[in-house]
Chains A and B, each alone.
Chain A
Amino acid sequence: MNQHEINKGINDMKNIGLTHKEKNQILKNIMGMPVVSPYAPKPSLWNFAFNKFAYATAFLLIIAMTGGTLAYADEFSLPGDLLYPIKRHITESIRDVLTVAPAAKAEWEAEKAIRRLDEAEALAQKDKLTPEKRDRIEKDFDENVSAFHDNLKSISTSTHKEEDLNDTFDRSIKDHSDILSKISSHKNDGEQHEVDALKDTVVKASNSKATEDKASTSQKDIEKEKARIKND
C-alpha cells in the first residue's frame, strides 16, 4: 500500500456520516428540549399554561403523587374514556420525544399501531365501535404504519434489525386480522360493517408492506452486487 492509497483510505473514511433523516431528527429533538435561555424573552403565564412541557411536568408530578396509578390506568383506557386523551397526548407523546434511535422509533410506531388495533377490538367487543371512532383509529393506524416504514429505512442493514422488526410487525398484523374476523363473525350487520371496514385497512397495510418488501429486497440485491463489484 503506497502513500497515495493510504491517503485515499483516510479520505474515504469521511464518507461515513449520519443519514439526512437522522441529522434532521437529532436537530429537531435538541431544539425541542426544555432549555431555559437567559436570552429568551420571559414567557407569560398564559404561554406557560399551553406549553407542552408544562403538561409533561405536571403529569410527572401527578404520577409521583399518585404512585403511578393514573399512568397505569390510562394505559387501559379506550377512545371515549376520560383518561384516553392522557394516554394519547401525554403518555405516548412523552415516549415520542424520548425515543430517538431509528430502530427504537420503528418499534414504538409498530407498538402504537398495534395499540390502536387492540383498542378497536376492545371497543368492538363492547359494541362501542362507532363509525367516528373507527375512522379515527384507522387514520392513526395508517399514520403509525407509515412512520414505522419510514423509520425502518433509516436502520442499519447489517444488523438484521430491520428484518426482525418487519417480521414481528407482520405477524402481529396478521394475528389482529384473524381476531377482527372472529369478532366480525359474532356481530350483527351494522356492527359487522365497522369491524370489516377496519379489517380491510389492516389487510391493506399488510399487502402494501409485502409489495414494499419485494421492492426493497430487489434494491438491496442491486446495492450488494454494486458493492461486490467495487470491492473486486
Chain B
Amino acid sequence: MEVHHIKQKFTEIYNKEADSLFRYCFLRVSDREKAVDIVQDIFAELWKKYNSTEKIKNERAYLFTLAHNRIIDWYRKKKSESLDTLLESEEGERPFDYSNTGDADIILSIESKRVLKAIETMEPIYKEVLYLRFAEDLSPQDIASIIGSTANVVSVRITRGLEKLREHFHTKSK
C-alpha cells in the first residue's frame, strides 16, 4: 500500500471515529483535556499499526478497546483511588460527571442529563455496555471484545440493563 493511501485511509477513520471516542473518554474521565490526550494517544497507536505490517480486523472495536484500557490505566495512576476499589468495581468505573460537559459549544439537553444520571445509578456491569450499545451503536460482539467478555454475556447485560433503565423511568415495555 502506498504512503498516501495509508494517510487517506487513516484520515477517513480518524474523521469518522474521533468524536465518538472523545465522547466515550470524556464521559468516563470528566476531564476534557485528559480526554483529548487519550484520543490522541489512541490514534497515535493506530497510526503506528497502519505503518506496520500488522492488520486490524475491526478498527472501531480496536479503537474502543484501546480507549477502555487507557481509561483504566488512567484511573490506576490516580493516587486518590486505590487499586482495590478499581478491581472491586470490575472495570474501574467512575461516575459520569453529566453536569460538566466542559465546553461552551456543548450543552447537554435535560433528557441526556437524565439518561446519564439514570445510567450512573446502575451497577457497573451495565453502565458501559448500555452506553456503548446505544450511544455509540456498537454491536454486542464488538462490546464483548472491548470489555473482554463474550457476546452472549454482553447481550444479557444489555437486555437486563435496558430493563432496569426502563424501570428507573417507569416506562416498562409492554
Which A residues are closer than 8 A to B by beta carbons? 1-3, 5-6, 8-10, 12-19, 22-23, 26-27, 29-31, 33, 35-41, 100-104, 156-159, 220, 223, 227, 230-231
State the Cβ distance, B107 to closest chain A Cβ, in Å.
5
Question: Which 7 A-B residue pairs are closest in the complex by CB-CB distance?
Answer: A9-B111, A9-B115, A17-B19, A37-B51, A156-B102, A101-B33, A12-B109
Identify the closest chain A residue to B32 (Cβ): A156
Q: Is the CB of A39 within 8 A of B114?
A: no
Q: Is the CB of A13 within 8 A of B51?
A: no
B18-33 residues with Cβ-Cβ distance < 8 A to A are 18-20, 22-23, 26-27, 32-33
State the Cβ distance, B116 to closest chain A Cβ, in Å.
7
Contact flag A19-B33 (CB < 8 Å), given A10-B115, A35-B47, A100-B40: no
Q: Is the CB of B44 within 8 A of A33?
A: yes
State the Cβ distance, B156 to closest chain A Cβ, in Å.
20
Chain A residues with Cβ below 8 Å from B37 are 100-101
Q: Is the CB of B36 within 8 A of A159?
A: no
State the Cβ distance, B52 to closest chain A Cβ, in Å.
7
Q: Is the CB of A220 within 8 A of B116?
A: no
CA distance A16 to B2 in the complex (A): 34
Chain B residues with Cβ below 8 Å from A223 are 104
CA distance A133 to B101 in the complex (A): 45
Q: Is the CB of A6 within 8 A of B108?
A: no
Which B residues are closer than 8 A to A by beta carbons? 1-3, 6-7, 11, 14-15, 18-20, 22-23, 26-27, 32-33, 36-37, 39-40, 43-44, 47-48, 50-53, 100-116, 134-135, 165-166, 169, 171
Q: Is the CB of B43 within 8 A of A1?
A: no
Cβ contacts A to B, 20 pairs, < 8 Å = A1-B171, A6-B169, A8-B111, A9-B109, A9-B111, A9-B112, A13-B23, A13-B27, A13-B115, A14-B23, A16-B22, A23-B18, A27-B14, A29-B40, A30-B40, A38-B51, A38-B52, A102-B36, A157-B103, A159-B102
CA distance A6 to B43 in the complex (A): 31
Q: Is the CB of A1 within 8 A of B111?
A: yes
Chain A residues with Cβ below 8 Å from B169 are 1-2, 6
Q: Interface majority SS on B: helix, strand, loop or mixed?
A: helix
How many A-B pairs have beta carbons closer than 8 Å: the answer is 140
Identify the closest chain B residue to A1 (Cβ): B169
CA distance A8 to B22 in the complex (A): 20
State the Cβ distance, A1 to closest chain B Cβ, in Å.
4
CA distance A12 to B50 in the complex (A): 33
CA distance A30 to B45 in the complex (A): 9
Contact flag A102-B33 (CB < 8 Å), given A9-B111, A27-B11, A36-B51: yes
Q: Is the CB of B111 within 8 A of A26?
A: no
State the Cβ distance, B111 to closest chain A Cβ, in Å.
3
State the Cβ distance, A3 to closest chain B Cβ, in Å.
6
Q: Is the CB of B3 within 8 A of A39?
A: yes
For A5, A18, A220, the residue with the greatest tally of chain B CB atoms inside 10 Å of its CB is A18
Q: Is the CB of A100 within 8 A of B107?
A: no
Contact flag A6-B165 (CB < 8 Å), given A35-B47, A36-B51: yes
Identify the closest chain A residue to B48 (Cβ): A35
For A6, A38, A159, the residue with the greatest tally of chain B CB atoms inside 10 Å of its CB is A6
Q: Is the CB of B18 within 8 A of A18?
A: yes
Contact flag A31-B51 (CB < 8 Å), given A14-B23, A17-B19: no
State the Cβ distance, A176 to closest chain B Cβ, in Å.
28
From B18, B48, B52, B171, A2 is in contact (CB under 8 Å) with B171
CA distance A169 to B171 in the complex (A): 53
CA distance A23 to B1 in the complex (A): 25
